[in-house]
Amino acid sequence: MFQIAIYGKGGIGKSTMTANVSYILSSEGKRVVQIGCDPKHDSTRLLLGGRTQNTVLDYLRRTPKEDRRLDDVVFEGSGGVRCIEAGGPEPGVGCAGRGILTMFDFLDGGGLDDDGADYRIYDVLGDVVCGGFAVPLRKGYADAVYIVTSGEFMSLYAANNILKGLLNYDDGRPRVGGLILNSRGMDGELEYVRNFADGVGLPIVSVVPRDPLFADAEASGKTLAESHPDSPAADALREVARDIEVKSSNPEMLKYPHPLDDRAMDMVAKGIPVSGSPALEYRRVRNPVDDCWSLKSCAGMGAVAYSKMVRGVHTIVHGPTSCAYMMCCRSDLWTGFRDLHGDGRLVCQDVSCTHLDDSSSVFGGLSELRELIRRRAGLGDECIMVISMCVPGIIGDNIVDLCSEMSDELGIRIVPVPVDGIGAGSASDGIRAVVMKLAEMADPCPVKDPHLINVMGEFRAATDHMSRLDASVFRLLEDAGFSINTVFPGFCDMDGVRRLGRAGFAVRSYDERNNRITCEMVCEGLGTRLMRNPLPRGMRATETWLDEVSEITGRDLGEVKSRMREEYETRLSAIRPRTEGRTAVVVTRPSSDYSWLFEILDDLGVVVLRSRNSTFNRWVVGQTACDGKEPYSTRLAESDAEELAPDIVMSDSQADVGLSARHWRILSPSPGLEGIADWAERLGRAMDAPAREAWR
């Protein structure tokens, strides 16, 4: 079987050419299948007496899997051509390219391959710059490609784009049969097209005249080759059929795609000869996987991580199951995956998923979303957040309108967060989107209480570079004359969200650029004053922080400060006998601020023999900043330990695991005096521990 794809701009005459060629080949005794891959689904109408037939996608949408039969979508047309139409989704919704793939899966699965056809001809819309329409070029579907064009610039432009697309699916063998000039009848049309053809190095396999007989034939629901076989137009169409026959048995006559660059296309438009001018060495788009050495974060993921922290909010992941799985399993795999709706579908605690599948990505997924919201509505959520993933972003689901419509209908708060997966950017963008939506739900509160403070940016699953919210924070804030209004968004419930506006002040729980920007935006909206300094780590930072409190509140905290300093000294002097004069190698990430570490080591009298950078980002293998030389490694840790014989190697890196020297993992202290004093005590105990464990 030889497979041919006929491409071209919409309306250029692809279906007319294709149906005629199919008819000609078929009436010469060849077995031909024609497959229309244009959402317009009128490819085969001239073979079917003017009727448009059921499309495969409509059929798949309506028919349960077990009832599907290939014969329901294959119709026999004139001359015995077997006719299939892919069809497509509603304009503006869904992905027609995905639809074409779905159709191929069905046709292959249904055994179309075994039908013994000599030719299979695909009629493909070619002016949509979407990889989906290139499907017939992939997976070895098309052995030869012909492009229908007229002399009009837009149709040559589309032809050039098709060649660019072909380059991206270059599998090493020539595949382009040539151009079919379907004349519009403009002046000098053949010269225009010949100029382009010379530029791209393709033959014009036939020049089909503009002819009113095409309209005649169409009116009788027939191909011109059938109704007017003796016309010059029919001769021209037979030339196309001949070319296909010749090239199917001589595939070495097929050409490689050589699309033109913009400059050369401009020359084509102006009628300036392009051949001889350097045609575009259009570089093949490199497989992104080759270049992708780390997984970039996803706005959908950031949004879900934050919305699921807030109690009273139910999160709906509008997307495929895999997205929800990725977003939930990281923290909830062991505790949270369960069958929330009793329908056997996996969801995790407080998160459910619309489980978009192949058909929703073809036709749109709003009905799945509507159904899920209805199911949730009776379950007592105060608020439902709907977060969209890439698929709804691409297929054009309008979740904003749906959420507002369903809010009105069901009387609960349904908040759309249309981040569209990676469409809206990185995780930080998704976090910001959710945090801003939450902040918008705060009750308006023009009069602020200067003794209330919001702790902001707190993440429930605090990692080691974030402060943990524990007794030390409460004590610090109390010392500064504050009580906590709400901790936002981690540890927060909907009450906390509503209360947000009451506090006079806000403090960030840790220092990080994206978190700072988000907190600034939230505070600006609420009219709350955001402190410059985050919750402080280490004694000096704590004093600076208290100075800022005095500055913004007018409270005199001199006494508090000196009491703290005194307590710090007392607690450290009890530890110092174990640390004074001991030596350390320190390994830290350069991306975090470790001034508190060097300060406390100094205060404890620990001598730092060497400090090193561990990996810049421990998730990214290979991206390191280790004194500009080699990545920090077990080898380097060993050689430091041997060369310097420190009493302790302390690091935030994995590389010291198994080290023969005494080693200690650095965790950042909780804020305030309490936090750093506890930290120092832990270090003191570590200094006392045996350098080697007993079993070594």
Residue 182 interacts with ligand ADP (CB under 6 A): yes or no: yes
| Interacting residues with Mg ion between 330 and 359 (CB under 5 A) | none
Residue 15 interacts with ligand ADP (CB under 6 A): yes or no: yes
* DSSP state at residue 18: H
Binding span for ligand ADP by CB under 6 A among 5-13, 349-357, 434-442, 579-587: 5-13
9 flagged as catalytic: yes
Of 250, 286, 251, 119, the C-alpha closest to 173 is 251
| Least Å from the CB of residue 194 to ligand ADP | 18
CA-based radius of gyration for the chain: 35
Binding span for ligand ADP by CB under 6 A among 14-22, 328-336, 362-370, 458-466: 14-22
Q: Which of 3, 5, 16, 304 binds ligand ADP (CB under 6 A)?
A: 16
Residue 15 interacts with Mg ion (CB under 5 A): yes or no: yes
Residue 394 tokens read as 């691409």
12 binds, among Mg ion, ligand ADP, none (CB under 5 to 8 A by kind): ligand ADP
Could you tell me if 365 and 371 are in contact, meaning their C-beta atoms sit under 8 angstroms apart? no
Q: CA 455 to CA 477: how far, in whole Å?
A: 10
Q: Is the dihedral of CA 528, 533, 535, 539 positive or negative?
A: negative
561 flagged as catalytic: no
Q: Of the two residues 54 and 583, which places its CB atom closer to Mg ion in the complex? A: 54
Binding span for ligand ADP by CB under 6 A among 20-28, 211-219, 238-246, 682-690: 211-219
Q: CA 208 to CA 40: how far, in whole Å?
A: 23
Residue 498 interacts with ligand ADP (CB under 6 A): yes or no: no
Residue 210 interacts with ligand ADP (CB under 6 A): yes or no: yes
127 flagged as catalytic: yes
Q: CA 523 to CA 529: how far, in whole Å?
A: 6
For the chain, count helices (H), then strands (E). Answer: 25, 20
Q: CA 625 to CA 615: how far, in whole Å?
A: 6
> One of 38, 42, 123, 127 is an active-site residue; which one?
127
Between helix 189-200 and helix 153-168 the angle, nearest 10°, is 20
457 binds, among ligand ADP, Mg ion, none (CB under 5 to 8 A by kind): none
Residue 333 tokens read as 């795999």
| Least Å from the CB of residue 10 to ligand ADP | 5
Q: How remote is the C-alpha of 62 from its chain's centroid?
A: 30
| Least Å from the CB of residue 18 to ligand ADP | 8
**DSSP string covering 564-628, please?**
HHHHHHHHHHHHHHHHTT-EEEEEE-TTS--HHHHHHHHHTT-EEEEEEE-BSSTTSTT-B-STT
Residue 454 interacts with ligand ADP (CB under 6 A): yes or no: no
Answer left, alpha or beta for residue 504, where phi above 0 means left and psi between -120 and 50 means alpha.
alpha
Q: Of the two residues 7 and 104, which places its CB atom closer to Mg ion in the complex? A: 7
14 flagged as catalytic: yes
Q: CA 501 to CA 504: how far, in whole Å?
A: 8
Residue 88 interacts with ligand ADP (CB under 6 A): yes or no: no
Binding span for ligand ADP by CB under 6 A among 210-218, 263-271, 459-467, 504-512: 210-218
Q: Which of 2, 3, 14, 128 binds ligand ADP (CB under 6 A)?
A: 14
Binding span for ligand ADP by CB under 6 A among 62-70, 206-214, 361-369, 463-471: 206-214
Q: Which residues sit at the interface with Mg ion, rule CB under 5 A?
A: 14-15, 38
Catalytic residues: 9, 14, 40, 127
Binding site for ligand ADP (CB under 6 A): 8, 10-16, 182, 208, 210-211, 214-215, 218
